């Protein structure tokens, strides 16, 4: 159970580690689709994860992540 004994799971660089983005760029070089919302949803859908740390540089990025 998450949070048991005061221990929680926090992910770092959930969107910026770019492993998935690099793989997609190699598989589909012309693809400029933004997979960030789907990646954030995937991370947050894991019941073992309590917090996903996500860096944001612009108000637009903040709004997009809040929408997720």
Q: What is the pLDDT of residues 15-46, one digit of tens each?
A: 777 788 788 889 999 988 888 888 889 889 99
Q: Classify residue 39 by burial, with Cβ atoms within 10 Å: 0-12, 13-18, 19+.
A: buried
The structure's pTM equals: 0.68
Read off the tokens for 7.
């221990």
Average pLDDT, stretch 50-56? 89
Q: What is the dihedral of CA 47, 41, 59, 24, to 10 degrees?
A: 130
**Partners of 51 in the beta sheet?**
10
Q: Tell me, what's the pLDDT at 63? A: 93
Question: Residues near 15 by Cβ (< 8 Å), separated by ≥ 6?
Answer: 36, 39, 40, 54, 55
Q: Tell me, what's the pLDDT at 18? A: 73
User: Which carries the bigger pLDDT value, residue 59 or residue 6?
Assistant: 59
């Amino acid at each position: 159970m998450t949070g048991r004994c005061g221990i929680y799971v926090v992910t770092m660089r959930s969107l910026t580690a770019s492993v998935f983005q690099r793989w997609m760029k190699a598989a589909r070089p012309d693809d400029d689709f933004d997979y960030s919302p789907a990646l954030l949803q995937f991370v947050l859908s894991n019941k073992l994860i309590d917090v996903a740390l996500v860096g944001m540089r612009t108000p637009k990025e903040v709004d997009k992540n809040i929408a997720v």
